[in-house]
Amino acid sequence: MATETKRPMRCAIYTRKSSEEGLEQSFNSLDAQKEACLSYIQSQKHEGWKALSTHYDDGGYSGGTLIRPAMTKLLQDISAGKVDLVVVYKVDG
């Protein structure tokens, strides 16, 4: 019986916080979001998921606009074929 090899899924973690309050702390909400996303990616290791080392963090940027430095970089990396999946902590409605 042949074993099927899954193609690695390169996972980008995107974090955002609308205010800069608390971002100076050694462990802040962006870190907490990243940690939760990383745990989820690790739980999908059997599916070939692997977290990218690039950080896509927009601290102090409103979700009401796409004009955010990390979001712009993430979209560029997706277009360049460097990212297969984007993992976020939650999507606000």
> Can you give the pLDDT at residue 93?
52
What's the CA gap between 41 and 38, in Å, rounded?
A: 5
Closest CA to 87 of 60, 49, 58, 61: 49
* DSSP class of 16: E
pLDDT of residue 5: 58
Model pTM score: 0.85
pLDDT at 87: 97
Nearest to 33 by CA among 59, 66, 69: 59
Q: Write out the chain's pLDDT in tens, 93 residues.
A: 555 556 899 999 999 988 877 777 777 789 999 999 999 999 999 999 999 999 999 999 988 888 999 999 999 999 999 999 999 998 765
Which numeric CATH code is attached to 9-87? 3.40.50.1390
Q: Where are the domains of the chain?
A: 9-87
